Amino acid sequence: MTASETRPLTAVRRFPPDFLWGAATAAYQIEGAATEDGRTPSIWDTFSHTPGKVFEGHTGDVAVDHYHRFREDVGLMAGLGLNAYRFSVSWSRVQPTGRGPAVQKGLDFYRRLVDELLTAGIEPALTLYHWDLPQELEDAGGWPERATAERFAAYAGLLGDALGDRVTRWTTLNEPWCTAFLGYGSGVHAPGRTDPVAALRAAHHLNLGHGLAVQALRASLPAAARLAVSLNLHEVRPLTSSPADREAARRIDTVGNGVWLGPMLEGRYPQELFADTAHLTDWGFVREGDTETAGQPLDWLGVNYYTPTVVSQVAEGEAKPQDDGHGNSEHSPWPGAEDIAFHQADGARTAMGWPVDPSGLYDLLIRISARHPGLPLVVSENGAAYEDVVAPDGSVHDPERAAYVYAHLEAVHRAVESGAEVHGYFLWSLLDNFEWAYGYAKRFGAVHVDYDTLRRTPKSSARWYARVARSGELHTPGTDV
């Protein structure tokens, strides 16, 4: 039996009693209040206000106004039976220039949010960085510069001091692959730069910043704190079994996964990464001791998954499909692998155009568990965008989303039964929100948001997910969706 084959499941698919059932969001996507209480622009404020960068000029200035409606949103979480909530802090809200003391009004917002969560019996899972670098730090060079990693560590210490008495579960970075390679490589994300060397420099300094932030948090947090990073690891598959396609998959796995897993979990970069990118850089920006710093011990690893990555080697002169699911750009987000083609499998797709294939999540969890036994895993993002329709009575019936989540929770349950140490699942996302370069055109939320009135309405998939979360059992979506 191969890793991706389905095997019989128990009659009742029951998750461990202490399993985390959550939903996730990101600050710039939901908070709004872009200029209130001392907050200054982040790179996403600048990027979204730059003509042509975001769908129809949408911005996160208001987003879904979570800054003023957080109590209502926590009430929604409680109503959905969630026992955990993963959110990120806006760096420029609590430290506007990326330097110096914290702004108390910014910290107070997160104190109020965390207190509201704890009162509702919901565990806060705080992410320090979800892509919104203070613009002043980008003006000074951004993540390609070593100083940004050092500034990130100082910021982590500020948050640890302020919220360490309330928050136990911490994440340093969310999807640093996107920060480095979409932000500085292909330019489809903020800050919109298209320099493969800058992207690799950014990747290294994100690794370093992660390690320095873990050190800063360990110094300021109680011993019970549990620290992690959330990675959008790629389940890479060759289009065919040819040696050329298998080598293409190896190269994408290296620059998609090894660039993070090597330093963060093993304290070293894969040598293949240096060889694959030798025509771009000699990696002279890596200093002695950097990878050891990046490899700080972690208490858990967040795994973000949406769809597999299918690749092939392109012969010279052949057309190169570039449908990697990460936006359109003439510039590749895969330094050292610019000659590799990306393919999307046949079958059902989400509104993002991403194939629905939960076997990739199973394979990914099993592979990580085998390579890093004993490291607890949490699915820190998984979900789908669909073309939701509001019925005349105001309800939103979204059976496709429920079916997607059900299939991926089946994969998680199967991974647990196969021995993977998976401790939780966070649905992306709690709310419809600002979906980065897609603006408000793509809806991932379990809760529908009317962007004119900001009215929240749980979708039918949310009612089904609530039943699963409350019972800890994987019920088949039925009449409740």
| Catalytic site positions | 175, 381
Q: How many Å apart are CA 159 and CA 94, to the nearest integer?
A: 9
Which residues contact residue 469 at a Cβ distance below 8 angstroms, ignoring those fewer than 6 apart? 21, 80, 81, 82, 83
* Preceding peptide of 191 cis, ω within 30°: yes
Burial 18-35 (b: 16+ CB within 10 A, else e): ebbbbbbbbbbbbbbbbe
Strand order through the sheet with 340-343: 236-238, 309-313, 340-343
Q: Report the Cα–Cα distance between both ends of the chain, in Å, rounded.
A: 34
Q: Quote the tokens at residue 178.
A: 């996107």
Asked if 88 and 163 count as a contact pair (C-beta separation under 8 A), the reply is no
Q: Quote the tokens at residue 150.
A: 């050092």
Going from the C-alpha of 313 to that of each of 93, 322, 378, the distances in angstroms are 45, 12, 33
* Preceding peptide of 329 cis, ω within 30°: no
Q: Measure CA 13 to chain center.
A: 27
DSSP letters spanning 287-342: PTTHHHHHT---S-EEEE-S--EEEEEPPTTS---B--SS---SS-SSTT-TTEEE
Kind plus residue range of the DSSP H or E element containing 215: helix 196-220
Asked if 372 and 303 count as a contact pair (C-beta separation under 8 A), the reply is no
Q: Quote the tokens at residue 159.
A: 């948050």
Asked if 48 and 41 count as a contact pair (C-beta separation under 8 A), the reply is no
Asked if 132 and 43 count as a contact pair (C-beta separation under 8 A), the reply is yes
DSSP letters spanning 112-168: HHHHHHHHTT-EEEEEEESS--BHHHHHTT-TTSHHHHHHHHHHHHHHHHHHTTT--
Listed residue (273, 267, 231) closest to 255, CA to CA: 273
DSSP letters spanning 380-399: EEE-------B-TTS-B--H
Asked if 232 and 368 count as a contact pair (C-beta separation under 8 A), the reply is no
User: 477: helix, coil or strand?
Assistant: coil
